[in-house]
Amino acid sequence: MAQVEKLSSSKCFEGYVCRYSHVSSSLGNLEAKFSVYWPPTTKVATEKQPILYWLSGLTCTDENMMMKAGAQRICSELGLILVCPDTSPRGSGIPGEDDAYDFGTGAGFYVNATTPGYSQYYRMFDYVTKELPQVMENNFGVKSSKKSIFGHSMGGHGALICSLKLPGEYCSVSAFAPISNPVQCDWGKKAFGGYLGAENKESWRDYDATELVKKGCRFPKEILIDQGTEDNFYKQKQLLPENFQQACQSTGQPVELRYQEGYDHSYYFIATFIEDHIRFHAKALLS
Amino acid sequence: MAQVEKLSSSKCFEGYVCRYSHVSSSLGNLEAKFSVYWPPTTKVATEKQPILYWLSGLTCTDENMMMKAGAQRICSELGLILVCPDTSPRGSGIPGEDDAYDFGTGAGFYVNATTPGYSQYYRMFDYVTKELPQVMENNFGVKSSKKSIFGHSMGGHGALICSLKLPGEYCSVSAFAPISNPVQCDWGKKAFGGYLGAENKESWRDYDATELVKKGCRFPKEILIDQGTEDNFYKQKQLLPENFQQACQSTGQPVELRYQEGYDHSYYFIATFIEDHIRFHAKALLS
């Protein structure tokens, strides 16, 4: 496995925010960047600690969470490692990949693409669930078996499907304003059509949290979701958390969907409730 | 006075981050933007509350502080209004104003320029100390007499000179990695040469915190400064907090200069110590 290169390091709440680059086999051997917050008690490469994975939303990179959410204060206090991958491969050269904010670059949707061109590069599901944990274990000696996952919007969708498709892999899962039923919304239809094929709608269900729950996938603990009531994308029916909640209720999957009055889709919403979510994950990771 | 227009509003820690636009008389009638965090207990236009002004550094806008520092959590708890102006006028059309990161757009240095062209637009000192507090009072009914000021880098310089030049105006002042002796560093020489004239070096001293203290200006309370030891601009002698400290010590101006081991010049440094600074200001503002 190719070694990771450290691009930058900034001390933050006694720990360090570090940005790394590596050649990713899941992403067609393109260069991939990711960011890690190392809490102060982490002894890199000697002590093994649990990891919290954060998946960002459309147009984001590995840096948004670190810069905007204020998560480091709490991860520092609790001694949690926070890992933030990018939201897509970059620079594949596929024609049109940079043309839209909601497809291609910055919009990988955490699936393994099967369509011509994309299937070679856009394998974010494998990247997030297999390659990146392996990179963390091989390069930094942290235990890959103890991990949790959360995310925002497209990344909330990502967190939900990763945890539902791989039971036993994650200790806990939560999401902010997740795209909860992508086969039913415009964002999801466009992305899944492009990455999985317009004709292969049956395969779309394998990357849809609501459909996965309906099919019988289960996460063994309660899933936590926060949704702002003034979120324009929620109002436009791009997120559909109510569909996910309904599927959970009718199949016995525990979920807590909290509607947060007046909050929108921005990182100001995430920053407000990030402490809640991290402490929720800490309970599962540190117990 | 022209009315302010609200550009956006996002709920954050039960309060709101709002961005406004107005026509600024100090800045040659150009459109100026500023951001405000309204804590949840603020009754806009009815209750009068103290204001904490934040001045950002080179290349920043009114948004950096709101997005990156995590200040809202603490301002929400304490009920403090946080106001962040832009770092320069924008769109004056002066030839070359967009050519460098450290002069012109995004680099107003909080002075009243006197050189041809710039003197019409680059009057950030008046904007920050007079016009913006007036805008806050006239449009939102908040009491302009109870205010404090802090900032980062170029904005730390701004906070220091505003408080030293206007004794009695601010209840407290603090700075992160301030440009503390601009007449002695490359950034300051370039900016002051351009805004005040290369020939008018005597006038530069009126906008230099270290020189102001040497000349006898005093702030009636202790000034708080944090400086990271791994700050590249500190190592390059752009900041020179030791000069300011020395001037304070030799003239009896109380100052606490804290060297923070391992921290750099980024917002990760600011985020780490922002709570300290806001609580420092709250002591003065809420007493």
Are A271 and B230 a contacting pair at CB < 8 A?
no
Each domain of chain A, given as residue ranges in start order, spans: 5-285
Share of chain B above pLDDT 70, in %: 96
Q: Is the pTM of this model over 0.90?
A: yes
Are A272 and B13 a contacting pair at CB < 8 A?
yes
How confident is the model at residue B44, as a pLDDT? 47
DSSP reduced 3-state for B78: helix
How confident is the model at residue A43, as a pLDDT? 46
CB B112 within 8 A of CB B203: no
Q: What is the mean pLDDT of residues B88-114?
A: 96
A228 touches chain B (CB under 8 A): yes
Indicate if the pLDDT at residue B175 is higher than 60.
yes
Query: Closest by alpha carbon to B275, among B55, B51, B64, B72?
Result: B72
Q: Which fold has domain B5-285?
A: Rossmann fold (3.40.50)
Total Cβ atoms within 10 A of residue A150: 32
Indicate if the pLDDT at residue B46 is higher than 70.
no
CB B58 within 8 A of CB B105: no
Chain A nearest-CA distance from B260, in A, is 10
Indicate if the pLDDT at residue B117 is higher than 50.
yes
B185 touches chain A (CB under 8 A): no
Query: Closest by alpha carbon to A123, among A131, A134, A113, A135?
Result: A113
Contacts for A274 with CB less than 8 Å, ≥ 6 apart: A69, A70, A71, A74
User: Which positions in chain B touch A268 (Cβ < 8 Å)?
Assistant: 10-12, 17, 66, 72
How does pLDDT run across A119-139, given as a tens digit for each residue?
Answer: 999 999 999 999 999 999 899
Q: State the pLDDT confidence band at B49, using cuts at 50, 70 and 90.
A: confident
DSSP reduced 3-state for A211: helix
CB A182 within 8 A of CB A156: no
Are B268 and A228 a contacting pair at CB < 8 A?
no
How does pLDDT run across A207-223, given as a tens digit for each residue?
Answer: 999 999 999 999 999 99
User: How far is residue B87's CA from residue B92's CA, in Å, rounded to a whole number?
Assistant: 14
The DSSP H or E segment spanning A151 is: strand A147-152
Whether A102 sits among the annotated catalytic residues: the reply is no
Are A264 and B10 a contacting pair at CB < 8 A?
yes
User: Which positions in chain A touch B278 (Cβ < 8 Å)?
Assistant: none
Write b or e for each residue in B42-57: b if 16 or more Cβ atoms lie within 10 A of its Cβ, otherwise e.
beeeeebbbbbbbbbb
How confident is the model at residue B141, as a pLDDT? 76
Nearest CB to A263 within list B11, B230, B264: B11
Window 4-63 of B, Cβ < 8 Å to A: 10-14, 17
Active site residues of B: 153, 231, 265
How does pLDDT run across B142-167, given as a tens digit for each residue?
Answer: 765 689 999 999 999 999 999 999 99
Distance of CA A139 to the CA centre of its chain: 21
Q: Please give the C-alpha separations between residue A48 and each of A134, A142, A224, in angstroms, as whole numbers.
A: 13, 4, 26
Indicate if the pLDDT at residue B43 is higher than 50.
no
User: Which positions in chain B touch A267 (Cβ < 8 Å)?
Assistant: 67
Here the ipTM equals 0.94
Which residues of chain A fall below pLDDT 70?
1-2, 42-48, 143-145
Q: What is the mean pLDDT of residues B62-87?
A: 96
Window 91-150 of A, Cβ < 8 Å to B: none
Query: Closest by alpha carbon to A227, among A181, A255, A261?
Result: A261
Contacts for B36 with CB less than 8 Å, ≥ 6 apart: B17, B18, B19, B20, B81, B82, B83, B84, B136, B140
| E strand intervals along chain B | 5-12, 15-24, 30-38, 51-55, 81-85, 147-152, 173-176, 223-228, 255-260
How confident is the model at residue B145, as a pLDDT? 61
Nearest CB to A70 within list B70, B230, B263: B70
DSSP reduced 3-state for A152: strand
Residue B78 buriedness (CB in 10 A; 0-12 / 13-18 / 19+): middle
Sheet-wide strand order for A15-24 = A5-12, A15-24, A30-38, A81-85, A51-55, A147-152, A173-176, A223-228, A255-260
Indicate if the pLDDT at residue B239 is higher than 60.
yes
How does pLDDT run across A35-76, given as a tens digit for each residue?
Answer: 999 999 764 434 567 899 999 999 999 999 999 999 999 999
Are B271 and A68 a contacting pair at CB < 8 A?
no
Nearest CB to B73 within list A67, A70, A72: A70
B272 touches chain A (CB under 8 A): yes
User: How far is residue B227's CA from residue B225's CA, in Å, rounded to a whole number?
Assistant: 7
Interface test with A, best of B12, B35, B73, B76 (most A CBs within 10 A): B12
CB B44 within 8 A of CB B136: no
